[in-house]
Amino acid sequence: MIKVINVVGARPNFMKVAPIVEAMKRREREFTPLVVHTGQHYDAAMSDAFFNDLDLPQPDVYLGVGSASHAAQTARVMEQFEPVVIREKPDWVLVVGDVNSTLACALVCVKLGVKVAHVEAGLRSRDRTMPEEINRLLTDQIADLLFTPSADANENLVAEGIPVERIRLVGNVMIDSLYKHLERSRQSRIKDALDLNEKRYAVLTLHRPSNVDDPLTFGRILDALEKISEQLPIVFPVHPRTRKTIAELGFAERVKRIPGLRLVEPLGYFDFLNLYSDAKLVLTDSGGIQEETSVLGVPCITLRENTERPITVTIGTNTIAGTDTDKIVAAAFAALKQKTRPKVTIPLWDGHAAERILAELS
């Protein structure tokens, strides 16, 4: 029996861990999965709903570390996670993505001599001002197994001197969740609740400090949104942190005056999947949604100067527009001219990444 601790720290982790835990439960004679939620990002609207929607069992252990500076948060996760590893004596610890919990738990395992695997390894933005990039780089250096979503991730790891025997190309486990739940998400009534016409709206997500903490950068994005919203409504599920900065920067009245911009509370997994899967276009500074929109053929405009997921640009539907108003507007209007959605096929993004991961752990 292989005992595996699966670590989640923030909402994007849930979609990656859920199919892995489900696959382990299907092979209950081989695997004993435990779920540890560090509580790095915790909000009932942004966490509990996702556990329920994704059929992810409630955490076996909740650490409750809460928000803090990067250093303090990483330290708290390590301090709280170490006794769990010592007590449970797992054969493997799986960390996913690039949040502080990913690196913190990997460090604990290495120092205790416990094998650790990194799911979604090898992604690189080449931007070391992003905390996530540092987490990715360091986690990949110390993990025993590196599960990559795409061939470019393998190339990044080899270029950094990672031995090839530690690297496994398994595909994108987040797409496992997407394919499993896409049909069920059709039952959501979110578009009716928001009175939206089918496929004649945009969806916006915005939360990165580099975008929402700087009034000049945020202002340029709002300039673009004002122009785009003249063509179609933009639904904006507002991250709690972003809602706070809108008020602190004095943008509340300006945002309210953009007639086509509709702010809503954070959505559960099914409602959000239903919403963006039928959107005319998506504007985002997030990572995973670049992948999901590519698979669905939905035009995505990334409000960053780079992406750690370049395959979404070369094969998928993603356009890197940065935070320049004119570039954002031009990319959006180009997307609106498209008559049909492209059919995108990315190798191993087929809904079976979790099974490939388990095969490597067996």
**Which of 186, 141, 187 minimizes the C-alpha distance to 166?**
141
Sequence-ordered alpha helix ranges (H) in 27-130: 44-53, 70-88, 100-112
Amino acid identity of residue 206, one-letter, is L
Distance of CA 140 to the CA centre of its chain: 18
Contact 282, 202 (CB under 8 A): yes
Catalytic entry in 37, 70, 118, 207? 207
Query: Which helix H or strand E contains 359, and what residues bound it?
Result: helix 353-361
207 catalytic? Reply is yes
Distances 236 to 183, 231, 289, 321, 325 between C-alpha atoms, Å:
23, 16, 14, 18, 18
Secondary structure class of 235 (helix, strand, coil): strand
DSSP code of residue 341:
P
- Both tokens assigned to 107: 């460090």
Structure-token match 């004002």, residue found: 226
Distances 313 to 62, 132, 221, 300 between C-alpha atoms, Å:
37, 20, 21, 9
What is the C-alpha to C-alpha distance for residues 119 and 308, in angstroms, rounded to an integer? 14
Distances 26 to 29, 324, 358 between C-alpha atoms, Å:
9, 48, 11
Amino acid identity of residue 210, one-letter, is S
- Both tokens assigned to 209: 């400090």
- Both tokens assigned to 181: 């739940």
**Which of 146, 28, 154, 41 minimizes the C-alpha distance to 95?**
146
Sign, Cα dihedral of 176, 180, 186, 189: negative
Q: Could you list the active site residues?
A: 207
